[in-house]
Structure 1
Amino acid sequence: METRKDYISLNGVERVSLLLLALGEEQVQRIFEHLDESEIREIAVTMTNLGKVSSNVVEVMFSDFVDQLSTTGALIGTPESTKRLLTKALPQEKVAQIMEEISGPAGRTMWDKLSNINEELLANYLKNEYPQTISVVLTRIRPEHAARVMTLLPDSLVMEVIMRMLKMESVRREILDDIERTLRVEFMSNISKASKRDSYELVAEIFNFLDRQTEAKMIGNLEESSPDDAERIKNLMFTFDDMLKLDSQGIQAVVRVIDKTKLALALKGANDAIKEKFFSNMSERAGKLMREDMQSMGMVRVKDVDEAQNYIVITTKDLANRGEIVIRKGGDAEDALIG
């Protein structure tokens, strides 16, 4: 019964992919000759993600061919097996294109993938392209992503691109194909190298999510074993104390979106400079209400203050990642009380 349930759970494309994995390469080649490119691409994606399928499920699906398939055992869909089968049916260039799309940034089409590329990387590439090419790309990717990319392009170039977009008519298929081909060869093929995270930035990002006590302990241990690495990580970290480095516009943007109760709790344990930074960017009435809220809290635990401050740090970094603010970057006892 479990085998039949497993078989029933497979959708149509998964069953087709399993069938092709079980067949010989010549048979697969003949089948692919009757499919269009989009169908082959969908099957290739499914093959790659199919993983291991029990031979019992294979036997159920091919009940008319039990004798031939019973010795096949389990089938495993992998990038390598998919590429090998595609190579028998398609030109090498087309195989490379399909496999690159499968293993590259998320998305089924080139335009989906571009919408998942870091906006700075995409903007740095596009600023050297013709305005007409840029306008085509920006009209094909997601609007919210196009907006972020546009803000990173030179002002003079943006205006020209916008004018091209306004006057743009339907783009011929061959032009789109040419742009896609260029992007794939010149940009997407190098994107994994260009977007590789710096290991120090990654560790600093992780440390930002630690509670203050654990963070101090890990930084202390790292300072003992590798002081240079510790210093580099500390310089990359963004903590609540770094809110002082935000300009007035940035602080105001943060205040607009955060939970005011959590802000009051966070400021309860903040130093005077940070308190003044926030209060100076609130209206007199809002500042007065915030001070009253802080006073009414009485004694609060450092743990709760840390959690509130970490919430504000995460919110601030999220705003920065969306390009809404700019961060200019250059530290208890968990149950202690702050009056």
Structure 2
Amino acid sequence: MARVKEDYRSLSGPEKAAILMLSLGEEHSAKLFALMDDEEIKEISQIMSGLGTISSNLVERLFVEFADQISSTGSLVGSYDSTERLLMRSLPKDRVEMIMEEIRGPAGRTMWDKLGNVNEAVLANYLKNEYPQTVAVVLAKIKADHASRVLALLPENFAMEVIMRMLRMEAVQKEVLDGVEKTLRTEFMSNLARTARRDAHELMADIFNNLDRNAENRFMSALEERNRESAERIKQLMFTFEDLVRIDAQGIQTLLRSVEKDKLAIALKGGSDAVKDLFFKNMSERAGKMLREDMEAMGPVRLRDVDQAQSAIVVMAKELAASGQIVISEGREEDELIY
């Protein structure tokens, strides 16, 4: 018979994780396993299979410790800088730089994968100051659709120089390719990573935007009690369904072409009169009539469904704004339009 584990102090980290996974049940533990790599799954699975009987007191103590750790606000603070300092104590500088670039840089296994995830305007702005031959090598290595967008943003004469070099380009020597890759890694990607760090309040505003209404109100109320200044700043940074009134008529028409009509009907059921008027004013009389009929026909809708539909439209508006297809005014006087 397997022994009963009761000595909490002797448990290792992986053992605690294994007990926690067992306690969560199949549905929740499956979601966590899906987020792990193969080695982590193998290690925890092996430990789980050999745990034997776990006393209820030990499980309870484990959950209390877990709850205390995730609710603690002042225990440890991890950052890029503190991680880099720690690595510098045990690894060579060039190795640390490579690791930190992997952490900070856009997603991708290789440098060329990473460049494929860099906005074309940002990449073009960097490349316009490089030699045409270097730019030709870079554009030849990234995907054609991305290269075309970058090329279109380069100064015309410079772009033609790049095109001519690409047409005459033969097989690039490995040393040349390595040199270009090293330059991109040390100069461009590292600078990009430093400038891309987000303010913590901006990140939290995005997270709050994706919470359902009840959770958002609950967390915001709790945050106001602990740190009213941070709560107010997050509120200012949040972009909600009601903030769609900050989009001009042309932008709303663009948004209407991108939004699923059934989601719009559900979202508007829970929207203010101002938002409803904004959408209906920018629709044809026939389309507006059909939408009103759809809204009436669906009867009462669940708050959760309204939140999900509104969130989907807000995400779509942000994506259109990020790509420059619509403009979201920040409500300042200089953002007002003159007709």
TM-score, normalised by the number of residues in structure 2: 0.59
Matched residue, 1:27 = none
Matched residue, 1:160 = 157
Deviation at 1:111, TM superposition (A): 1.4
Q: Is the 8 A contact 2:126 2:188 kept in 1?
A: yes
- Matched to 2:239, the amino acid is F
| % same residue | 52
In structure 2, the CA distance between the partners of 1:225 and 1:137, relative to structure 1 (3 Å rule), is: same
In structure 2, the CA distance between the partners of 1:203 and 1:146, relative to structure 1 (3 Å rule), is: farther
Where do residues 234-313 of structure 1 align in structure 2 (5 Å cutoff)?
A: 234-313=235-314
Deviation at 1:97, TM superposition (A): 8.6
Matched residue, 1:181 = 182
Q: Is the 8 A contact 1:241 1:274 kept in 2?
A: yes
In structure 2, the CA distance between the partners of 1:328 and 1:147, relative to structure 1 (3 Å rule), is: farther
- Matched to 2:219, the amino acid is M
Deviation at 1:222, TM superposition (A): 1.7
In structure 2, the CA distance between the partners of 1:110 and 1:305, relative to structure 1 (3 Å rule), is: closer
Paired with 2:202 and 2:102, the residues of 1 have a C-alpha distance of 28
In structure 2, the CA distance between the partners of 1:148 and 1:238, relative to structure 1 (3 Å rule), is: farther
Cα distance per residue 1:175-197 (max 9 Å; x no partner):
54443232122122344323222
Deviation at 1:114, TM superposition (A): 1.2
Matched residue, 1:33 = none
Paired with 2:265 and 2:41, the residues of 1 have a C-alpha distance of 53
Q: 3-state DSSP class of the match of 1:187?
A: helix
In structure 2, runs of 5+ residues without a counterpart are: 1-37, 44-86, 332-339
In structure 1, runs of 5+ residues without a counterpart are: 1-48, 55-82, 331-339
Paired with 2:98 and 2:307, the residues of 1 have a C-alpha distance of 48
Deviation at 1:130, TM superposition (A): 4.7
- Matched to 1:278, the amino acid is F
Matched residue, 1:195 = 196
- Matched to 1:282, the amino acid is M
Paired with 1:230 and 1:98, the residues of 2 have a C-alpha distance of 37
- Matched to 1:163, the amino acid is M
Deviation at 1:292, TM superposition (A): 1.7
Cα distance per residue 1:203-223 (max 9 Å; x no partner):
111101111122122222222
Paired with 1:52 and 1:288, the residues of 2 have a C-alpha distance of 55
Paired with 1:271 and 1:205, the residues of 2 have a C-alpha distance of 22
Deviation at 1:142, TM superposition (A): 2.8
- Matched to 1:116, the amino acid is N
In structure 2, the CA distance between the partners of 1:180 and 1:240, relative to structure 1 (3 Å rule), is: same
Deviation at 1:316, TM superposition (A): 2.2
In structure 2, the CA distance between the partners of 1:189 and 1:250, relative to structure 1 (3 Å rule), is: same
Paired with 2:122 and 2:276, the residues of 1 have a C-alpha distance of 37
Matched residue, 2:46 = none
Q: Is the 8 A contact 2:132 2:162 kept in 1?
A: no
Matched residue, 1:4 = none
Paired with 2:246 and 2:162, the residues of 1 have a C-alpha distance of 38
Paired with 2:236 and 2:120, the residues of 1 have a C-alpha distance of 24
In structure 2, the CA distance between the partners of 1:102 and 1:185, relative to structure 1 (3 Å rule), is: closer
- Matched to 1:265, the amino acid is I
Matched residue, 2:233 = 232
Matched residue, 2:319 = 318
Where do residues 216-227 of structure 1 align in structure 2 (5 Å cutoff)?
A: 216-227=217-228
Paired with 1:249 and 1:134, the residues of 2 have a C-alpha distance of 37
- For structure 1, which segment, 123-132 or 207-216, has the greater mean C-alpha deviation from structure 2 after superposition? 123-132
Paired with 2:148 and 2:235, the residues of 1 have a C-alpha distance of 32
TM-score, normalised by the number of residues in structure 1: 0.59
Q: Is the 8 A contact 1:122 1:149 kept in 2?
A: yes
In structure 2, the CA distance between the partners of 1:96 and 1:198, relative to structure 1 (3 Å rule), is: closer
Q: 3-state DSSP class of the match of 2:268?
A: helix
In structure 2, the CA distance between the partners of 1:250 and 1:133, relative to structure 1 (3 Å rule), is: farther
- Matched to 1:251, the amino acid is I
- Matched to 2:195, the amino acid is A
Q: What is the RMSD of the two structures over their aligned residues, measured on CA atoms?
A: 3.7
Where do residues 23-62 of structure 1 align in structure 2 (5 Å cutoff)?
A: none
Deviation at 1:280, TM superposition (A): 2.6
- Matched to 2:265, the amino acid is A
Deviation at 1:268, TM superposition (A): 2.0
In structure 2, the CA distance between the partners of 1:292 and 1:50, relative to structure 1 (3 Å rule), is: closer
In structure 2, the CA distance between the partners of 1:218 and 1:106, relative to structure 1 (3 Å rule), is: closer
Q: Is the 8 A contact 1:279 1:287 kept in 2?
A: yes
